[in-house]
Amino acid sequence: MNKLGSELNISNICGKNNTMNSHLFSADMKLADVIHADYSLLLLLHRFGLNLGFGDKTVREVCEANHVSCPLFLMICNVYSNEAYLPMDKEIERIGTDVDQLIAYLKNSHDYYLNSRMFVIEEQLKEISGNCEEHHKKILHLFFNEYKNEVIKHFAYEEDTVFPYISGIMHGDRSGNYEIEEFKENHSNIDDKLNDLKNIIMKYLQGDALSEMRIRVLFGIFSLEEDLSKHSLIEDKILIPLVKKLEQQYGKQ
Amino acid sequence: MASNNKSYRIVIIEPSMIISTGLRKLIEGRHDFEVVASLADCYHCVEKINHLAPDIIIINPSTVEPKRRQHLEELFEGMKSAALVALVYQYIEPEALKQYHTVIDISDDADKIAQKLLQSIDALNAPADGADKNELSEREKEILVSLAKGKINKEIADQHHISVHTVITHRKNIIRKTGIKSVSGLTVYAILNNLIDINEVE
């Protein structure tokens, strides 16, 4: 069942929209308070190029000091923290030319997923399968490699085709016949194998050796999975509608 | 299965009068359903519900105490012949929802609700899936091995003398039972469980 959808409907029916909005972070909150409210947002700081040590500055102040679009930063924070939140069309339109910051954010996220998270998971997998039979070790390794290649391909398509296309239209280049609609239709799902890996480690990898390490791997996979699902949500529900709008605007010129 | 002139007897357990009245109105717009009682909670009325002999009980799962949510069958012990339908408009743990034959969402329209109620009756009458619901059957293991070796549905169908449709049904059951969707994930499963040798897949 579509939990997100039904919750949105309910809040509309019950006129609870205001209540929901009051749970959203705002520009005048102290950034430190935002992080205290949801520490998973720490992950976003680096992707936006924001450093720690921001004292008692508000979200707006920190963003301005770092030339980060505050509406964009808040939008992403709220998507991460609030299951029921999706920005309205108007809010998305307001991002406008800051789409380049959104692209930079997405690229930084790709880099983080591949070079930090997946790298760690791969190393941990080697460790937990160290005592397994040789062919079990081998098949786990093959499986993870296949998954990693799938993710690399997925990100590479976005970085080599989709993002340059978006930068192109921002600079008035509409020469190719690519359209964001094509991305929308082909945006593939990369969570199946990650989900499979969870079950393989949790349910099917025999032996009780290194169970602490296994639990750590599972934590890592669950949190990567959650992060990736927000990442796809941002691409599907923010990037694509935004670029559609930009296509209309810049196509007319 | 009911004959054409039978209407299903329904009990609604929902604390909000606005919602239960609205639901009742939607359901009774259809001649094949009859709401025999609307109750605010289920604890004081188990006897009464039993006596009403409903075909379907529509329950807001939040009216059941959390610790009993996953043991609904104990609560409605005498009513094995009733389909249990959850009416959901708050967050309910997915585990708890598994106890129900189907789930009505607050945003469903009258047709959808009617359709789901009929489904719940079908689900109630469907034969149980055998004792070991989560163990792969021998047949499923054979299909899984073929999948792990990279065979496509058509090849598997030919090899096992079954239809492609049957292969797809087996695949769905394998995915549900193992929790593994991708073919390469199933290959890992097959090797970890010694169903095939790694040399057979490379």
Q: Which residues of B touch A (CB under 8 A)?
A: 88-91, 103, 105-107, 178-182, 184-185, 187-189, 191-193, 197-198
Domain limits, chain A: 3-86, 95-252
CB distance from A89 to chain B under 8 Å?
no
Q: How far is CA A60 from the centre of its chain?
A: 22
The pLDDT of residue A19 is 47
The average pLDDT across A170-187 equals 83
Residue A9 pLDDT level (bands cut at 50, 70, 90): very low
What span, in angstroms and rounded, lies between the C-alpha atoms of B138 and B159?
A: 15
The pLDDT of residue B202 is 63
Per-residue pLDDT at B1 exceeds 80 = no
Residue A174 pLDDT level (bands cut at 50, 70, 90): confident
The pLDDT of residue A3 is 40
The pLDDT of residue A21 is 53
Per-residue pLDDT at A188 exceeds 70 = yes
Percent of chain B exceeding pLDDT 70 equals: 92
Judged by CB atoms closer than 8 Å, whether chains meet at A200 and B187 is answered as: no
The pLDDT of residue B22 is 92
| pLDDT tens-digit map of A107-164 | 999 999 999 999 999 999 998 888 888 888 899 999 999 999 999 999 999 999 999 9
Per-residue pLDDT at B38 exceeds 50 = yes
| pLDDT tens-digit map of A24-40 | 899 999 999 999 999 99
| pLDDT tens-digit map of A195-249 | 999 999 998 987 767 788 899 999 999 999 999 999 999 999 999 999 999 988 8
Of A158, A198, A192, A194, nearest to A178 (Cα)?
A158
| pLDDT tens-digit map of A199-208 | 999 989 877 6
| The domain made up of B8-125 is a member of CATH 3.60.70.12 | no
| pLDDT tens-digit map of B118-172 | 888 888 777 555 445 678 888 999 999 999 988 999 999 999 899 999 999 999 9
Per-residue pLDDT at B44 exceeds 80 = no
Q: Lowest-pLDDT range, A82-96, B12-26, B39-53, B105-119?
A: B39-53
The pLDDT of residue A11 is 38
Q: How far is A203 from chain B (nearest CA, A)?
A: 9
The pLDDT of residue B107 is 87
The average pLDDT across A64-74 equals 96
Of A116, A149, A126, A69, nearest to A227 (Cα)?
A116
The pLDDT of residue A22 is 53
Q: How much is the pTM?
A: 0.68
Domain limits, chain B: 8-125, 138-200
Residue A253 pLDDT level (bands cut at 50, 70, 90): very low
Question: DSSP code of A237?
Answer: I
Residue A16 pLDDT level (bands cut at 50, 70, 90): very low
Nearest Cα residue in chain B from A199: B179
Arithmetic mean of pLDDT over chain B: 85
As for the ipTM of the complex, it is 0.79
3-state helix, strand, coil in chain A (%, to 5): 75, 0, 25
The average pLDDT across B168-178 equals 91
Judged by CB atoms closer than 8 Å, whether chains meet at B184 and A6 is answered as: no
The pLDDT of residue A6 is 42
Buried b / exposed e over B167-192, threshold 16 CB at 10 Å, is: beebbebbeebbbbbbbbbbbbbbbb
| Nearest residue, CB atoms, B105 vs list A1, A138, A196 | A1
Judged by CB atoms closer than 8 Å, whether chains meet at B189 and A200 is answered as: yes
- Which two structure tokens, joined as six digits, stand for A187? 């945006």
Residue B145 near residue B197 (C-beta atoms within 8 A) = no
Top pLDDT among A2 and B176 is at B176
The pLDDT of residue A29 is 95
Residue A45 pLDDT level (bands cut at 50, 70, 90): very high
Of B140, B130, B127, nearest to B175 (Cα)?
B140
Residue A224 near residue A66 (C-beta atoms within 8 A) = no
Q: Mutate which of A129, A139, A194, A201 to test chain B, going by most B C-beta atoms within 10 A?
A: A139
CATH number for the domain running over B138-200 = 1.10.10.10
- B187 vs A contacts (CB less than 8 Å): 139, 143
The pLDDT of residue A14 is 36
| Nearest residue, CB atoms, B198 vs list A5, A135, A200 | A135
What span, in angstroms and rounded, lies between the C-alpha atoms of A179 and A244?
A: 9
Residue A170 pLDDT level (bands cut at 50, 70, 90): confident
Look-up of token digits 């992080």? A35
- Which two structure tokens, joined as six digits, stand for A101? 């910051």
Top pLDDT among A42 and B2 is at A42
